[in-house]
């Protein structure tokens, strides 16, 4: 990690026209941001701790502002303030680490500072995301160098034979958990039709019918690196690409309708090692769900290809049965879904056309048409769960929800290489039968 890199970032930050989005923030916040930015490179080792304290306080203030609104309604100025303050904080931490020869843990905290900006705000602003990506790459290289030096100096004497045996035992157990056993396979009563690599014209015609229905598209993903040359089923590969220290938002709990459900930020290595490869037996389940992992870690996006089907011409329409308004998004919305066996997405609707690509493992999925809405008992329409069913789909309480027994549905087990098309407004329930990694494309 070089001081030259930090100098370049500082100059780019100083070039910002602070009269744009940031000007809406209060003057005291801008004054503090300016002051920290202008002094961070010129103060001595003792004074820089004071700058770090000030910029950390500014991040805390911006965090309060972020939490004062629903995420989609957060004014851009507070997202910008959080982003710029986080970059300045990371520079403080870098200067301290360089001048005091701090060890690996200090550098890990720098990655966390930068990742929090990506996760909390999306890093808006001219070149901000690129600055963060560049700094993360430099810091990760520094961590890698520290690890290599530590390995050389420690003169590791552990028996390689024993290590290989332990690794093989863990690998065999892992392979069993990622493989679908026949005993885990649900009975498919009303299978979803399949189409093998349909033409663009065929798919366009299907999605633009008056009431499009779900279909499974096969033989469409085999050319993806994630399923071939860079297999995501190899989680050591995933860790090497994402970076072990990267911070991701994780849901704790089997499903988001549970009272005990919560969210936590953790580094990717902890998530994979503790919750995916070596899950505990305390009943908790962790799920990296509906997260734009590919905007946060662009290197991972190189292993997938946005399907051409996402770019078909579609028109807005309204589904009166469940009050779903479909409006084509300005761009394809991509989200990652990664978790162990047993994760559940309670039955809900989404307002977009959806292609759900299965990359690792298997999922059981059940779908109900919008016309079945009255039989699936949604929560109150004006509430947070207005697009979610109250029914436990596989173990329904038919005394509370008697009409559910007569609701018509389609179901399937989605396998690696399959891609499920879900039309807007269709109710869908998803349960992972194994360790699973899926990618959704809303269009």
Reading the chain (443 residues) residue by residue, the pLDDT tens digits are: 777 888 889 888 887 655 567 878 888 998 999 899 988 877 776 788 899 999 999 999 999 999 999 888 999 999 999 999 999 999 999 998 887 776 778 899 999 999 999 999 999 998 999 999 999 999 999 998 888 877 766 654 444 444 444 555 545 555 666 676 555 689 999 999 999 999 999 999 999 999 999 999 999 999 999 999 999 999 999 999 998 889 999 999 878 888 888 999 999 999 999 999 888 656 789 999 999 999 999 999 999 999 999 999 999 999 999 999 999 999 999 999 999 999 999 999 999 999 999 999 999 999 999 999 999 999 987 667 889 999 999 999 999 999 999 999 999 999 999 999 999 999 999 999 999 999 999 99
C-alpha–C-alpha distance, residues 142 and 138, integer Å: 6
Question: What sign does the dihedral 214-218-224-226 (CA atoms) show?
Answer: positive
C-alpha–C-alpha distance, residues 216 and 173, integer Å: 30
Cβ(410)–Cβ(438) below 8 Å: no
C-alpha–C-alpha distance, residues 226 and 232, integer Å: 5
C-alpha–C-alpha distance, residues 442 and 306, integer Å: 11
Instruction: Show Cβ contacts of residue 260 under 8 Å, excluding neighbours closer than 6 positions.
Output: 253
Domain boundaries, the chain: 3-155, 176-442
Helix (H) or strand (E) holding 440: strand 436-442
CA atoms within 13 A on the CB side of 30: 14
3-state secondary structure of 321: coil
Instruction: Show Cβ contacts of residue 251 under 8 Å, excluding neighbours closer than 6 positions.
Output: 261, 262, 263, 286, 287, 288, 289
Q: CA 54 → CA 24, 35, 51, 105, distances in Å?
A: 20, 10, 5, 22
Model pTM?
0.87
> Which pLDDT value is given to residue 159?
44
C-alpha–C-alpha distance, residues 375 and 389, integer Å: 10
3-state secondary structure of 323: coil
Tell me the two tokens of residue 120: 């909390």
C-alpha–C-alpha distance, residues 172 and 132, integer Å: 38
Domain 176-442: CATH superfamily, name plus number: Cupin (2.60.120.650)
DSSP codes of every residue in 105-170 = HHHHHHHHHHHHHHHHH---STTHHHHHHHHHHHHHHHHHHHHHHHHHHHT----HHHHHHHHHHH
């Amino acid at each position: 990690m070089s001081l030259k890199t930090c100098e370049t970032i500082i100059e780019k930050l100083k070039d910002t026209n602070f009269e744009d989005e940031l000007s809406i923030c209060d003057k005291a916040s801008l004054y503090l941001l300016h002051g920290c930015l202008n002094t961070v490179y010129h103060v001595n080792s003792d004074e820089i701790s004071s700058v770090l304290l000030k910029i950390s306080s500014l991040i805390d203030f911006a965090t309060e502002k972020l939490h004062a609104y629903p995420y989609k309604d957060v004014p851009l100025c507070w997202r910008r303030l959080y982003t710029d303050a986080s970059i300045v904080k990371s520079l403080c931490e870098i200067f301290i680490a360089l001048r005091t020869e701090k060890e690996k843990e200090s550098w890990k905290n720098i990655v966390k500072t930068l990742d929090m900006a990506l996760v909390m705000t999306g890093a808006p602003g001219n070149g901000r995301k690129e600055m963060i990506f560049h700094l993360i790459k430099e810091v990760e290289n520094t961590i890698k160098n520290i690890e290599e030096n530590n390995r050389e100096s420690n003169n590791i004497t552990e028996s390689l034979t024993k290590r290989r045996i332990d690794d093989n035992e863990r690998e065999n157990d892992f392979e069993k958990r990622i493989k679908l056993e026949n005993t885990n396979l649900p009975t498919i009563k009303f299978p979803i039709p399949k189409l093998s690599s349909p033409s663009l014209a065929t798919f366009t015609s299907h999605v633009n019918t008056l009431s499009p229905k779900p279909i499974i598209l096969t033989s469409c993903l085999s050319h993806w690196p994630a399923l071939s040359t860079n297999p995501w089923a190899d989680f050591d590969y995933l860790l090497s690409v994402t970076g072990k220290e990267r911070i991701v938002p994780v849901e704790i709990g089997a499903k988001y309708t549970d009272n005990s459900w919560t969210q936590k930020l953790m580094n990717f290595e902890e998530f994979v090692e503790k919750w995916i490869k070596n899950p505990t037996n305390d009943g908790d389940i962790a799920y990296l769900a509906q997260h734009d992992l590919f905007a946060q870690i662009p290197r991972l996006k190189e292993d997938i290809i946005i399907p051409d089907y996402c770019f078909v011409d579609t028109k807005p329409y309204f589904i009166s049965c469940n009050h779903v308004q479909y409006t084509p998004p300005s761009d394809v919305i991509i989200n990652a879904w990664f978790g162990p066996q047993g994760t559940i997405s309670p039955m809900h609707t989404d307002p977009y056309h959806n292609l759900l690509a299965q990359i690792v493992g298997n999922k059981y999925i059940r779908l109900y048409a919008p016309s079945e809405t009255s039989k699936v008992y949604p929560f109150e329409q004006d509430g947070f769960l207005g697009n979610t069913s109250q029914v436990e789909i596989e173990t329904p309480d038919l005394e509370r929800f008697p009409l559910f027994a007569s609701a018509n549905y389609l179901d399937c087990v989605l396998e690696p290489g399959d891609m499920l098309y879900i039309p807007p407004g269709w109710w869908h329930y998803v349960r992972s039968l194994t360790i699973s990694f899926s990618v959704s494309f809303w269009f």
